[in-house]
């Protein structure tokens, strides 16, 4: 079960890190960095709670995302 948590945390880290590298406003960048930190914490702790919290934060940031002029 611990390996499953690590895989899910790695997916969260990769997705959130990819979002950090794209052009975004500061709120979306900070929330993606928080999701990355919680993913790393989940790998260290082998727990599903940081994964769930990080996923909620990341998805909430994606919902708030607005189109910005390029």
Measured between alpha carbons, how far is 13 from 38 in angstroms, rounded to an integer? Answer: 8
Pick from 44, 42, 66, 46: nearest CA to 56: 42
In a domain, 69, yes or no: no
For residue 70, being part of any structural domain is answered with no
* Residue 16: inside a domain: yes
- Tens digit of each residue's pLDDT (9 = 90 or more) over 15-49: 999 888 887 778 888 999 999 999 999 999 989 99
pTM: 0.84
- As for how many domains the chain has, the answer is 1
Domain around 23: 2-64
Mean pLDDT computed over every residue of the chain: 88
> Is 27 inside any structural domain?
yes
């Amino acid at each position: 079960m611990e390996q499953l948590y690590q895989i899910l945390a790695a997916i969260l880290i990769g997705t959130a890190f990819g979002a950090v590298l794209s052009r975004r406003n500061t709120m979306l960048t900070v929330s993606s960095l928080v999701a990355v930190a919680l993913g790393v914490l989940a790998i260290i702790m082998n727990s599903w709670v940081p994964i769930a919290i990080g996923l909620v934060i990341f998805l909430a940031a994606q919902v708030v995302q607005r189109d910005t002029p390029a």
